[in-house]
Amino acid sequence: MRLIAIILIMGCGITANATVIRKNSIRWIISGETAVGQYVTGDYYAVCPKGCTITAITPEPSDKNGTMLNPVPDGTQGYSSRGKGYNSSLNKGLHLPLSVNANDILISTTARTPDSNKSVIHEAAILTIVGTEPPVHSFRPGYCDINVSGWTESNLNHNRLQKLAPIADTPHISETYEKVARPWIDHQTGWSGRLIHPAYNMPDYGAHISNIVGEIALQLNLNYSYEQKRKALIGLVQIGIDLYSILSAGSSGWYNNGGHSQGRKLPILFAGLILNNRKMLAIGKKSGDYILRGSPGNPPSDYIHFGEDDQTFYVTQSDVDITNSSSWNPDKRNNEPAPYTSAMIGMPEWGIRHASNPERSNASWLAIYRRCCTGASFISNALAARLMCLQNKWNHDALFDYAERYITITQGKAYSSYSVPDEEAGWGVSAFTRKMWDKYSQSFKSDTNCSIK
């Protein structure tokens, strides 16, 4: 839809013949008459073939109501001085009027009073500057790389999804949509990224991000009509586009670190599958088992990090040797750590920073972050990938086998013949994920006989 929004009043940074674009509580004022419209996601674009000028943004810009132009995933941000890596020169709201050109992307934010170490941002909205009006029902370009673009709703191949019978405790699909209805700002990929995750838009913590994308992907594989699942499908695909744009812009991904970094790989593969995009579907070639081209602690220079991949592995003789040597340096905050033994070789396992620091891994089931913040959030992602025949594309069987080990143990059952110290139930998954796993996980155990039914 194309429209022209013009106002003829003065004050509050607004001059005659100004164009006003408002998204929830955020408003951009553009000098002169400018055509504007919305992507299929509801995010706005402004058509400025010769460039245009942003004269005002509300709420009033400050070091806590920041705006970034063409964000780069390098660890810095211009949204809030209360976040990590703040650089005032990146806060373009402090430097109005601002000249922008076609293919520029603005992200504006509003402040939130933080509690503990959670987000300092309440809301974020995106304005994309384009040279020509995009096709109707277009997806918004990825916010870190304008070239990650070109898709419309007509490109969605929803027939790549299963049409499985719902189970008890399935959340209502309309409630699901709200969780992915707004942009997820995730270009600060370290642990401090949670501080700039807008609370109104998205969860702040990786474990919660992982739970949401996994459960939405599971729901989208149920036998809802297209109209019923349309909004949630569009929302999850847009998140995948945005996350892929972060990688395309040069990021090496979301490094293993407690429960901060999982839940980003599935949306990219999901979007790649539904959009039939080979580049998105190929991210597994440089992540997961690609680390074996090097080794834990010495991954290839072009390795892409995803938390759930970095933290899952099969125990090898090297792990036994490291954890029985003077170089072993486990995190001792939760319990007395336990080294690996030769009897554990081949066991699917978790390590807090295994891809980068294998000497930190610890065989004890009580190892900090194992039960509270990681394992449970892997389950829905692993199952969703299996349902969509994406396990081979994922390229990391250790994740899928560890997910099976984790959910088996949390249900009070023995897992194979492996025995580890302090093994007991950990944090469980939601009733919906557990029942989906119980009903469908064994039917989609591998991609060998996987098909969309």
Distance CA 429, CA 292 (A): 30
Distance CA 263, CA 279 (A): 19
| Domain end (from 134, 169, 187) | 134
Q: Is the model's pLDDT at 307 over the cut of 80?
A: yes
CB neighbours of residue 15 within 10 Å: 15
For residue 346, being part of any structural domain is answered with yes
Mean pLDDT for the chain overall:
93
The answer to whether residues 127 and 199 belong to one domain is no
Q: Which distant-in-sequence residues (6+ apart) come within 8 Å of 128 by Cβ? A: 39, 43, 44, 45, 46, 104, 105, 106, 140, 141, 146
CB atoms within 10 A of CB 59: 17
- Tracing tokens 């099976």 back to the chain, one arrives at 404
Statement: residue 11 has pLDDT above 50: no
Answer yes or no: do 166 and 101 share one domain.
Answer: no
Residue 232 near residue 178 (C-beta atoms within 8 A):
no
Do 178 and 290 reside in the same domain of the chain? yes
Q: Is residue 10 over pLDDT 50?
A: no
**Helices first, then strands: H and E counts in the chain:** 11, 12
C-alpha count within 13 angstroms, C-beta hemisphere, residue 341: 8
CB 5 within 8 A of CB 21: yes
> Residue 13: pLDDT above 60?
no
- Is residue 16 pLDDT above 60, yes or no? no
Residue 221 within any structural domain of the chain: yes
For residue 242, what pLDDT band results from cuts at 50, 70 and 90?
very high
Structural domain of 30: 1-134
pLDDT at 69: 99
* Shared-domain flag, residues 185 and 121: no
pLDDT given for residue 452 in this prediction:
74
Q: Is residue 145 part of a domain?
A: no
Among residues 233, 144, 146, which one has the least CA distance to residue 185? Answer: 144
Do residues 242 and 119 both lie within one domain?
no
Same domain, 119 and 225: no
Q: Is 141 part of any domain?
A: no
Cα 42 to Cα 197: distance, rounded to the nearest angstrom: 19
Question: Does residue 166 have a cis peptide bond before it, meaning omega lies within 30 degrees of 0?
Answer: no
Q: Is 146 within a domain? A: no
Look at the chain and report how many structural domains it folds into: 2
Q: Which of 40-49, 165-174, 246-255 has the lowest mean pLDDT?
A: 165-174
Segment 148-152 long-range contacts (CB within 8 Å, at least 24 positions apart) = 148/241, 148/244, 148/245, 148/248, 149/241, 151/241, 151/275, 151/277, 152/40
Q: What is the rounded CA–CA span in Å between residue 8 and residue 15?
A: 7
- Inform me whether the pLDDT recorded for 304 exceeds 70: yes
> 28 and 105: one domain?
yes
H or E element in which residue 31 lies: strand 26-31
pLDDT value at 8 more than 60: no
- Three-state DSSP at 170 gives coil
Q: What one-character DSSP code corresponds to residue 14?
A: B
Q: Which residues pair with 4 in a beta bridge?
A: 35
Whole-number Cα distances in Å, 370 to 269, 364, 377, 411, 413: 25, 9, 11, 16, 18
Which of 3-12, 166-175, 196-205, 420-429 shows the lowest mean pLDDT across its residues? 3-12
Q: For residue range 90-122, list pLDDT tens digits in order.
A: 999 999 999 999 999 999 999 998 766 789 999
Question: What mean pLDDT is predicted for residues 160-185?
Answer: 94
- Domain ends where: 134, 166, 193? 134
In a domain, 142, yes or no: no
Of all residues in the chain, what percent carry a pLDDT higher than 70?
95
Query: Is the four-CA dihedral 40, 41, 43, 49 of positive or negative sign?
Result: negative
Q: Say if residue 84 is in the same domain as residue 11.
A: yes
Q: Looking at the structure, tell me whether residues 159 and 130 fall in a common domain.
A: no
DSSP-assigned beta bridge partners for residue 164: 222
Residue 6 clears pLDDT 50, i.e. is over it:
no
> What is the reported pLDDT for 422?
81
Among residues 3, 43, 9, 1, which one has the least CA distance to residue 24? Answer: 43
Residue 140 domain flag? no
Q: Do both 200 and 299 map to the same domain?
A: yes
Q: Are residues 389 and 340 in the same domain?
A: yes
- On the question of pLDDT at 194 being above 90, the answer is yes
Burial track 321-333 (b if 16+ CB lie within 10 A, e otherwise) = ebbeeeebebbee
Band (20; pLDDT cuts 50, 70, 90): very high
Mean pLDDT for 116-144 is 96
pLDDT at 449: 65
Residue 115's pLDDT is: 66
How confident is the model over 349-390, as pLDDT tens digits? 999 999 999 999 999 999 999 999 999 999 999 999 999 999
410 neighbors 425 (Cβ within 8 angstroms) = yes
Give the C-alpha separation, 260 to 208, whole Å: 9
- Sign of the Cα torsion 29, 33, 39, 40 reads positive
If you average pLDDT over residues 213-226, what whole number do you get?
Answer: 97
- pTM for the structure as a whole: 0.95
State the pairing for strand pair 105-111/35-38. Answer: unpaired
